[in-house]
Structure 1
């Protein structure tokens, strides 16, 4: 079974079915699901130099030997294995300095919390039908937060797209036998 369940929905669809901001990128990969998903788990930042550079601009820790999956959201969230062909990055953020996010794991907060002032961020990497993709969804829990986040989203969208396309190409290269960058 690929990243879709029998009802055709992904874990991303179940976790964050509505969103205010969204970005999707895809590449074709002529390899088995097992090979591709192993590459998803094993690809390191050194293999995606454009992504690594973009992450460094945000001061994220994208050390050469760190794995992309597992380290993507840094301290903002957590990585969740969603099934055979899908991995989720789940995060919660606020736009207010010094404001603590609600108690619980990022996954619990995204599922259960509707407290105003939060940004729920979910990104997946999934493989199915020969297509490796990543989709990012952001949901603001109130209108004020959505309005405040919009300029930031517009400013980072191009760099975010470069980062994700670089990640997908690195994963595809590894899956097709290109291996790790020395």
Structure 2
């Protein structure tokens, strides 16, 4: 499926097998919104914090969700002033990681046994969104990943929605709009 958002995620991973998108309308300029995205901590998103804590990740109250936690999940890809973009590569079948940066592997690797992952947090037209895309390089890898995706998707969705609401609450406090 081709991407439609015009984001850097479209450039990095224009097609996918698995996708999840969450959006919320927020007040503020691009600079204000992205500053809030970088600054929002786990203490501001208690539902997200509780869910992610189940994975035994470090969700200390003062840790910033996007800047500290999400950026530790993969390579941060330069994406302009309105988007944070992360990429990762996994191999559920213990296929050796191909050579190159994660960005190079995601955009150019077609070897079987690889999962390419892209995730962003983006502000455009008054809407803050987060999108995750996963592309398997072969049918076997896609089939083996599908049960995991369906298992974690609900909790991941709750986590993302909680994170977006926390960022919006911070913006409402800082910008003063409802």
Q: What band does the TM-score fall into relative to the shorter chain?
A: 0.7 to 0.9
| 1:84-132: CA deviation from partner (whole Å, max 9, x where unpaired) | 11111211111135x5423333222212212211111111110111101
Match of residue 4 from structure 1 = none
Q: How far apart in 2 are the matches of 1:11 and 1:108? A: 14
CA RMSD of aligned residues (A): 2.0
2:153 paired with 1:168: no
Q: Which residue of 51, 54, 71 corresponds with 1:54?
A: 51
2:62 paired with 1:65: yes
Q: Which residue of 32, 35, 43 corresponds with 2:32?
A: 35
2:103 paired with 1:107: yes
Contiguous gaps of at least 5 residues in structure 1: 1-6
Q: How far apart in 2 are the matches of 1:159 and 1:83? A: 29
| 1:42-101: CA deviation from partner (whole Å, max 9, x where unpaired) | 111221111112212122222222221132163x4122241111111211111135x542
Q: 4+ residue runs of structure 1 moved beyond 4 angstroms? A: none
SS of residue paired to 1:51: helix
Alignment of 1:32-181 (within 5 A): 32-70=29-67, 71-72=69-70, 74=72, 76-96=73-93, 99-177=95-173
Contiguous gaps of at least 5 residues in structure 2: none
TM-score normalised to the size of structure 1? 0.86
- Structure 1 residues 11 and 58, CA gap change in structure 2 (3 angstroms): same
SS of residue paired to 1:82: coil
TM-score normalised to the size of structure 2? 0.88
| 1:141-173: CA deviation from partner (whole Å, max 9, x where unpaired) | 110000000001111110010010011111111
Count of aligned positions: 171
- Structure 1 residues 125 and 142, CA gap change in structure 2 (3 angstroms): same
